[in-house]
Amino acid sequence: MATVKDGDVISLHYTGSLDDGTVFDTSEQGSPLSFTVGAGEVIPGFEEGVRGMEIGETREFNIPPENAYGEYHEDLVRVVPRSAFPPNITPEMGLGFELELPSGQTLPVRIIDVEGDEITLDANHLLAGETLTFKIRLLSIDVSAGPAVASGS
C-alpha cells in the first residue's frame, strides 16, 4: 500500500487542539485539507507528522512551537497611541489588521489591550508559543509519479 512521501498530494481530515484540550481548528464538518507534502504549504511539524501514513490511517501527534508557529516574542508587542488610528476606526480587543511597514511590506497584527489612549498591538501569530496536537485521518494520496490512489471519506 502507498505511504505518504514528499511530492504526494494528500487529502485528510484533522482536528488541532492546544495542551488544555481547546480545539483551535478542525476540518471534520467541512472539506478535507489537501496539500503537497514537502512543498511548505503547511507548518513543518504537520508535514513531518503525515509522512509514512497509509490511506485510512488515523494518527495523533504533537508539534512543538519551533516546528509550528514559532516561539512567542515579547518584542513583537507594541503600545501605540490611539491617535495612530484613523478617526473612523474604533480600536477594540481582538481586532486584526495589517500594518504597512516603511519597506512597503505588511505585517498582520491584532489588538490585545485597549487602555485609555494606549492601544497594545501584537504581531505574534495567535498560536505562537503553543505546542499543537493534531489528530488526522488520511483520506487519499495522489502519487505525483503515477495514477491517483483514493478511498472514500
Give the residue numbers marked as catalytic: 14, 24-25, 43, 69, 97
Do residues 16 and 28 make contact, with C-beta atoms less than 8 angstroms apart? Answer: no
Close Cβ partners of 29 (under 8 Å, ≥ 6 residues apart):
none
Q: Is 94 left (phi over 0), alpha (psi -120 to 50) or beta?
A: left
Do residues 120 and 112 make contact, with C-beta atoms less than 8 angstroms apart? Answer: yes
Beta bridge partners of 119: 80, 114
Q: Is 40 left (phi over 0), alpha (psi -120 to 50) or beta?
A: left
- For residue 144, the Cα-to-chain-centroid distance in whole angstroms is 25
